[in-house]
A and B are shown apart, each in its own frame.
Chain A
């Protein structure tokens, strides 16, 4: 009796994506899209009705992620604002607050 060989190789269709930006960071929308793709994977061969439901759920997840990412950004900005203010640089702190 022979054993089948273990297959360890890269899927030829495997794709590592690279996302880049110029003179800015990623927006909450861009990151939320990437995050949702990590959470939800929708098979092309799934039942069309289930696919549609999954896509609708994914869009909802994207919106929730966007919202809470903005919350986190704003909250972090408040922390940064106070840290800069405490260091005595009121002008820079004000610039951060207005972002």
Chain B
């Protein structure tokens, strides 16, 4: 059981067609990022947030941190959206990866209350001790943004 790469959840792609997720900055859904140890096993088939193998420690609360949405935009023929970098301050934690999930989805067409968006693999255990733990999202352009529809 371990992280083995970044995945966009298949359920998320389907949910986009159902209009489950809204990434608007001011009126959109509330997305969170939860951190996990390498004992977690997530992939494209992951459908909802779980507390299993979630990290614990000073500066981290179960469920993770609330992300700030960046308004969706387009570049050429690619639509994209992004999140503001997330920092867990004064934290003593070790994490190998993360889940981004929606805590306020439109549940008209789905049965889960915290549907996942992406699985993120940090590539190695990352640790902070009485310090800051910051997740830096890739450049928000047509080639690198974390969520892109081409």
B interface, by DSSP: helix, strand, loop or mixed?
Answer: strand
Interface set, chain A 1-41, CB cutoff 8 A to B: 6-26, 34, 37-38, 41
Nearest neighbor of B7 in chain A, beta-carbon distance: A10
Name B's A-contacting residues (CB within 8 A). Answer: 6-8, 13, 16, 85, 89, 95, 98, 118, 120, 122, 126-139, 141, 143-144, 146-150
Q: Contacts A14-B138, A16-B138, A17-B136 known; A22 to B130 CB distance under 8 Å? A: yes
Question: How far apart are A55's CB and chain B's nearest CB, in angstroms?
Answer: 15
Chain B residues with CB below 8 A from A38, complex form: 139
Is there contact, CB below 8 Å, between B128 and A41? no
Option from B131, B147, B149, B150 in Cβ contact (under 8 Å) with A21: B131
Pairs A-B, 8 closest by C-beta atoms:
A21-B131, A20-B128, A17-B136, A18-B126, A7-B150, A22-B129, A19-B134, A8-B149
Bin chain A's interface residue count. Answer: 20 to 34
Name A's B-contacting residues (CB within 8 A). Answer: 6-26, 34, 37-38, 41
Nearest neighbor of A40 in chain B, beta-carbon distance: B139
Q: Contacts A6-B149, A6-B150, A18-B122 known; A34 to B136 CB distance under 8 Å? A: yes
Q: How many angstroms from the CA of A37 to the CA of B118 in the assembled complex?
A: 23
Nearest neighbor of A4 in chain B, beta-carbon distance: B150
Q: How many angstroms from the CA of A21 to the CA of B98 in the assembled complex?
A: 18
Is there contact, CB below 8 Å, between A25 and B134? no
Is there contact, CB below 8 Å, between A10 and B118? yes
